Amino acid sequence: MTLLSVVLALAAFLCSLVAGLLFTFAIVVMPGVGKLDDNGFIRSFQVIDRVLQNNQPVFLFVWVGSVVGMMAAAVLVFLKLGGTDRVIMLAAALVYLLGVQLPTVTINIPMNNELQSLDLSTMDETTIGRARRKFEPRWNRWNAIRAACSSCASILLLLLLLRV
């Protein structure tokens, strides 16, 4: 087993874990909390997000590790391989970095932080409902995009792994 195949396997594994997390949010977590009333929805999302924001170590390792793994794989592929393999690696890296990491940093995390800043005990039902309507559809749409992109990147990494 070469260093390249180990790094590709690790990157594929970590990106697949991220894809699974985002997919689970898309098909289980958000539909589940989506059935709650507005106050319950916001409060439950605040609690779930707080676990992640408190640097949950396994989550942090997987999330940051997926980026490091993707970048390490890209460097190794570009140093050791050529042609179609480079194209596949470039596609995987671009899809992952632009379709998962960029929206996370520029859209989902700022939205999470905005929701975290709400003090539900000081808000009336109308304001809470408005906050939810501002948050939920956009957050879900971008999460679905991130889930699809992370899945696509994982498939590309696995395809590349089969080729080396």
Please tell me the predicted confidence (pLDDT) of residue 53. Answer: 87
Q: What is the model's pLDDT at position 127?
A: 97
Domain boundaries, the chain: 3-163
Q: Report pTM.
A: 0.94
Of the candidates 66, 27, 64, 31, the one whose C-alpha atom is nearest the C-alpha of residue 45 is 31
Q: What tens-digit pLDDT sequence spans the chain (164 residues)?
A: 899 999 999 999 999 999 999 999 999 999 999 999 999 999 999 999 999 888 889 999 999 999 999 999 999 999 999 999 999 999 999 999 999 999 999 999 999 999 999 999 999 999 999 999 999 999 999 999 999 999 999 999 999 999 98
The whole-angstrom distance between residue 18's C-alpha and the CA centroid of its chain comes to 6
pLDDT of residue 55: 81
User: What's the helix, strand, coil split of the chain in %, to 5?
Assistant: 90, 0, 10
CB atoms inside a 10 Å sphere around CB 142: 17
pLDDT at 45: 97
Residue 63 neighbours by CB under 8 Å, 6+ apart: 18
